[in-house]
Amino acid sequence: MNKNKKNGGRGLLSLFLILVVFVAGIVAVGFYMNGGIQHKSFVDGELEIHYIDIGQGDCTLVKCGDHAMLIDAGENDKGTQIQDYLSSQNVKKIDYIIGTHPHSDHIGGMDVIIYKFDCDVVMMPDVESDTKTYRDVVNAMKAKNYTNTVPVPGQQYSLGDATFTILAPSRQYDNMNDNSIALVLTYGDRKFLFTGDAEENGEEDIVNTGINIDCDVYQVGHHGSRTASSETFLNAASPAYAVISCAEGNSYGHPHAQTLNELRYRGIKVFRTDEQGTIVCTTDGVNIKWNCSPSETWKVGEATKSSKK
Ligand SMILES: [Zn+2]
């Protein structure tokens, strides 16, 4: 009897302790969800984004733990350089390889990468191009028995602890640049935006999807051309940082003065591969770190009166 009573007391004490832990848990979760402390949202480790300097064109490596995504692969003569870079970064296999659109400054080196690395998902817009560059990529895919995954706006994919949402293209355009695959990548509280060479019409349709594109880092559309980064689009994206991928002295005059002025006016910090080489951005889901300081030159790619020949 006495013994039983004692046990009953212990049982009550255990129940009480369980209740205390349970209530404390609820309070902690509530605090967390209200943003009471700076938190990492369910991520462990770091996300790295390498805006690789491949001259005129785009090539961006996203690394998340053992997972890797490559967005574009530069010009035709850049395949081996990109292969070497991926190897130097210990990339053994590519989860996603994305060719934003079939122009040679984006998919030029993609055939080499497909031959050299196993890729889980190959994604290109559902448009064809009558060029050798495009056929080279299609042949590389055939050789590896890969089929194309057609992007659908709103669709979400995961890359380790990171996720990305497809934003474009939502239809077919006569302007090949507007057919670019666009996506927003999320890691913890930080967001990164990629739009390939999408121009004003493509950007308008991205905004019209209603998907939140408010981001921290924006890879400036179409290499800083005045035909991209429209006012409406920048208002929706409102990045703190921008990265421009282009070659010094390129024949297109990228980045254009209009784009640089707009970024400067908005207080956006700018990094550029033509001046700073490969730009590496690292985040733990809260803080963002860079391998160099932002560019302060605001130097336009367009020929000025004095430099015109
Ligand atoms: Zn381009």
- The helix/strand/coil state of 68 is strand
Q: How far is the CA of 102 from the centre of ligand 1 (A)?
A: 9
**Would 100 be classed as within a structural domain?**
yes
Q: How far is the CA of 106 from the centre of ligand 1 (A)?
A: 6
Q: How far is the CA of 42 from the centre of ligand 1 (A)?
A: 35
The model's confidence at residue 1, banded by pLDDT at 50, 70 and 90, is very low
* Amino acid at position 213, single letter: I
The token pair that represents 59 in the structure block? 């090539």
Greatest mean pLDDT among 13-22, 29-38, 93-102, 297-306: 93-102
The model's confidence at residue 20, banded by pLDDT at 50, 70 and 90, is low
**Would 307 be classed as within a structural domain?**
no
Q: How far is the CA of 49 from the centre of ligand 1 (A)?
A: 19
**Would 18 be classed as within a structural domain?**
yes
Secondary structure letter of residue 295 according to DSSP: P
Element (H, E) at 241: strand 241-244
**Would 298 be classed as within a structural domain?**
no
Q: Are residues 218 and 79 in the same domain?
A: yes
Q: Are residues 118 and 11 in the same domain?
A: no
Q: How far apart, in whole angstroms, are the C-alpha atoms of residue 183 and residue 192? A: 8
The token pair that represents 269 in the structure block? 């910090």
For residue 23, what are the domain limits?
1-37
- The helix/strand/coil state of 194 is strand
pLDDT number for residue 22:
64
- This prediction has a pTM of 0.86
pLDDT, tens digit, for every residue of 225-272? Answer: 999 999 999 999 999 999 999 999 999 999 999 999 999 999 999 999
pLDDT, tens digit, for every residue of 82-114? Answer: 999 999 999 999 999 999 999 999 999 999 999
Q: How far is the CA of 75 from the centre of ligand 1 (A)?
A: 9
Contact present, 274 and 252 (Cβ < 8 Å): no
**Would 233 be classed as within a structural domain?**
yes
List the one residue out of 46, 41, 32 whose CA is nearest residue 189.
41
The torsion angles phi and psi of 305, rounded to 5 degrees, stand at -55, -40
Q: How far is the CA of 144 from the centre of ligand 1 (A)?
A: 26
Q: How far is the CA of 235 from the centre of ligand 1 (A)?
A: 23
Sign of the alpha-carbon torsion through 213, 218, 223, 227: positive
Structural domains in the chain (count):
2
Q: Are residues 137 and 29 in the same domain?
A: no
Q: Are residues 83 and 13 in the same domain?
A: no
pLDDT number for residue 308:
45
Q: Are residues 156 and 224 in the same domain?
A: yes
* Span 171-197, average pLDDT: 98
Q: How far apart, in whole angstroms, are the C-alpha atoms of residue 287 and residue 267? A: 19
The model's confidence at residue 41, banded by pLDDT at 50, 70 and 90, is low
Q: What is the DSSP string of 92-153?
A: -EEEEEE--SS-HHHHTTHHHHHHHSEEEEEE--S----SHHHHHHHHHHHHTT--B----T
Q: Are residues 159 and 219 in the same domain?
A: yes
Q: Are residues 28 and 51 in the same domain?
A: no
Q: How far is the CA of 69 from the centre of ligand 1 (A)?
A: 19
Q: How far apart, in whole angstroms, are the C-alpha atoms of residue 163 and residue 166? A: 10
Q: How far is the CA of 209 from the centre of ligand 1 (A)?
A: 23
CA angle 122, 123, 126 (to 5 degrees): 135
Q: How far apart, in whole angstroms, are the C-alpha atoms of residue 184 and residue 211? A: 9
Q: What percent of the chain shows pLDDT beyond 70?
A: 85
